[in-house]
């Protein structure tokens, strides 16, 4: 195992209503120059558990998050996942198939004209 040279913290602050539905989502990072909370409407977090070999997920969005914003978030998230997959595996063929679906998704949700 390699030696840790630096640590960084990412913090999330979630404001909930009386029904525990998110009303405000804020985040900050040590690596962000201003290191202040920034408001967001949604976030997705996936962590691959070393022991269980499964993904733990947290997906939250505020009441104001619109369907067209979710479509846009999913489109760019899928693009990022396909890029990450290719970078990690060098599997160009499967990355291309993922990109074909992402293109289809973008067209169906009218993100792509």
Asked if residue 7 lies in contact with residue 24, where contact means CB atoms within 8 angstroms, the answer is no
Q: What are phi and psi of 94, to 5 degrees?
A: -70, -35
Question: Which two structure tokens, joined as six digits, stand for 56?
Answer: 């733990």
pLDDT for residue 1: 65
d(CA 29, CA 7): 11
One-character DSSP codes across 75-99: HHHHHHHHHHHHHHH--HHHHHHHH
Q: Read off the pLDDT of residues 23-82 as tens digits, 9 standing for 90 and up.
A: 999 999 998 888 899 999 999 999 999 999 999 999 999 999 999 999 999 999 999 999
DSSP designation for 100: H
Using the predicted structure, report yes or no on whether residue 10 has a pLDDT greater than 80: yes
Say how far apart CA 87 and CA 98 lie, in whole Å: 13
Using one digit for the tens of pLDDT, what is the confidence trace for 87-111?
999 999 999 999 999 999 999 999 9
The answer to whether 10 touches 35, Cβ cutoff 8 Å, is no
Predicted TM-score (pTM) of the model is: 0.87
């Amino acid at each position: 195992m390699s030696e840790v040279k630096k640590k960084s913290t990412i913090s999330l602050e979630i404001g909930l209503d009386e029904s525990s539905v998110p009303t405000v989502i804020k985040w900050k990072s040590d690596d962000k120059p201003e290191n202040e909370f920034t408001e967001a409407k949604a976030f997705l977090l996936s962590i691959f558990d070393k022991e269980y070999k499964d993904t733990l997920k947290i997906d939250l969005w505020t009441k104001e998050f619109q369907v067209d914003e979710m479509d846009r978030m999913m489109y760019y998230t899928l693009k990022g996942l396909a890029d990450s997959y290719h970078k990690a595996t060098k599997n160009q063929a499967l990355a291309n198939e993922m990109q074909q679906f992402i293109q289809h998704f973008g067209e169906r949700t009218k993100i792509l004209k």
